Amino acid sequence: MQITRSSITKTTESHVKKLSKNINGKPVDFSSVQILDELNRNIDGLAEELKLFIRDQVTGFKKKGIVLGVSGGVDSAVALALCVQEFGKENVFGLLLPEKESAPSSRTLGAEICESLGVSYEEVPISPIIESLGIYDKKEQIIKRTCPEYDPGIHKTSLVLPDFLNQGLLNVPYIRLIKDGETAARYRLKANDYLELIGLQNVKQRSRMIVQYMYAEKLNYAVCGTTNKTELVLGQFVKYGDGGVDLEPLADCYKTQIYALAKHLKVNEAIIERPPSADTWSHYTTDEEFYWRMPMHVMDQLLYAQEHKLPVEVAEKNTGLPRDTIEKAWRHIDRIRDTTEYVRATPPIYSPDR
């Protein structure tokens, strides 16, 4: 994914650079840095710059408005609110794109945010696309092979990774069976089954993008993405799925900043309180359970400290984690970056002059 910044400034860098000197030009003690305060600084100014970025990109593409997939999550709600404030509700179109494993609340909250902003929207279930490719059947075969007691009539399922803060670098995925809201069993996944499951699940995001572009091209609108910086850095998006868009206004904003923007923009409280999730499993699985492997505010502080090369002592003070855990977490983050580099990369183009 290539992020273009025409008018947006990197607010997560500018103030920290200023912290290196005080008004008299003397060095500042970095131990005084409060990372969460830095992330929540000047949110109203950030919102204004994001709106200018959206306008620059859409008008630069010579498009009349914006199409946006509305998931009921905080990222799409913030992006939708920004687009409406900059272009007007009459020039923004929302799409609700549920499938049979989506949480019912995704549809409900997505419709509510569209209606509260006065945005026209349409619901287009993508289950027929998924079923036509045999995705549900193939997924069920893997789960049955992995979990002998699995009964689709009584069990919901989720894909989970171990909690990093308690189990360190161990990164073994497992299927969790849920019955009546409680974990009934857990089964470790084989590597080849894990890779196949990820490929099957990613078809859902790619199917949603097919629908978004079908509507965008009919309306002569641009497709707005909703990936945030935490996701971008970690490669937590699907190439040519939710990453296949015309513009990404939130991709320089950590998830922590997205929540601050949501409050500033008066997004529905139910959306703000909802745990973030890709929402592709029959049991609602949060990003903390599967991808981040730690609380969001801890991940963002570790990413921020690493990005700005803050001393480990600052990360210790801000996160409350011991030095060895922080150093392991940074190695873990580096490994994720390396393995997901291909997700962020644009296709290489041969040039005889290189």
- pLDDT averaged per 10 residues, the chain (length 354): 43 43 49 89 96 97 97 96 97 97 92 97 97 96 94 90 68 88 91 93 96 98 96 92 96 96 96 84 75 85 94 94 91 90 91 81
> pLDDT of 259-306, one tens digit each?
999 999 999 999 999 887 777 778 777 777 777 778 889 999 999 999
Residues recorded for the chain: 354
Beta-bridge partners for 290? none
Distance CA 12, CA 208 (A): 31
> pLDDT of 24-63, one tens digit each?
455 556 668 899 999 999 999 999 999 999 999 999 999 9
- Residue 29 has a pLDDT of 60
Distance CA 224, CA 234 (A): 20
- Residue 354 has a pLDDT of 66
Q: What is the pTM of this model?
A: 0.89
Burial class (CB in 10 A: 0-12, 13-18, 19+), 309: exposed
Distance CA 150, CA 176 (A): 10
| Ordered domains of the chain (ranges, CATH) | 11-339 (3.40.50.620)
Among candidates 141, 143, 136, which has minimal Cα distance to 158?
Answer: 143
Q: Three-state DSSP class for 207?
A: helix
Q: Which two tokens stand for residue 325?
A: 């855990």
Among candidates 238, 233, 278, which has minimal Cα distance to 256?
Answer: 233
**Cβ-Cβ contacts under 8 Å for 338 (sequence gap 6 or more):** none
Q: Three-state DSSP class for 197?
A: helix
First to last CA, the chain: 22
Q: Residue type for 157, please?
A: T
- The DSSP secondary structure of 251-319, one letter per residue, reads TTS-HHHHHHHHHHTT--HHHHHSPP----SSS---HIIIII-S-HHHHHHHHHHHHTT--HHHHHHHH
Q: Which two tokens stand for residue 339?
A: 């393995």
